[in-house]
Amino acid sequence: MEGSVKWFNVRKGFGFISGEDGQDYFVHFSALKKGTFIRENDRVSFEAVETDKGKQAKEVVLLQKGSEIAGGSDKKQSDEEEYSEDEVTEDEVSEDEETSEDEQEVEEEF
């Protein structure tokens, strides 16, 4: 299935993908190939999986960066430059950091 990244929090290591079927899929950084980074509006392909906790994206592959789709971006620094795969690990996903209501809800569910 293909879709686009709704949002992805690099520090927490999770986010959501909007699938071509109109459904939202939870994505964890472990579903990405090592060295792959995703950001809002990136075009991806993935395996849609129904779990006891809801719909999830597995085997996520970056097809096209959102900045390429939109014709470029003026963001000061990309996630790829800010973070490396080695810096974002499951150990660093902290409960102490401030989170939005949506993120807190997701963390409680997963």
Cα 68 to Cα 72: distance, rounded to the nearest angstrom: 6
Residues facing residue 55 across a β-bridge: 50
Is residue 78 scored above 50 in pLDDT? no
Mean pLDDT of 88-97: 45
Q: Which domain holds residue 70?
A: 2-102
Q: Judge whether 110 lies within some domain.
A: no
Model confidence pLDDT, tens digit, residues 29-56: 999 999 999 999 999 999 999 999 999 9
Q: What confidence score (pLDDT) does residue 104 get?
A: 56
What is the chain's mean pLDDT, rounded?
Answer: 79
**Residue 39, CA distances (Å) to 17, 64, 69, 95, 96 in order:** 10, 11, 12, 22, 23
Residues facing residue 1 across a β-bridge: none
CB 7 within 8 A of CB 40: yes
Q: 89 — alpha (psi -120 to 50), left (phi > 0) or beta?
A: beta
- Statement: the pTM of the whole predicted model exceeds 0.85: no
Q: Judge whether 71 lies within some domain.
A: yes
Mean pLDDT of 2-15: 97
Q: Judge whether 58 lies within some domain.
A: yes
- CATH no. for residue 31? 2.40.50.140
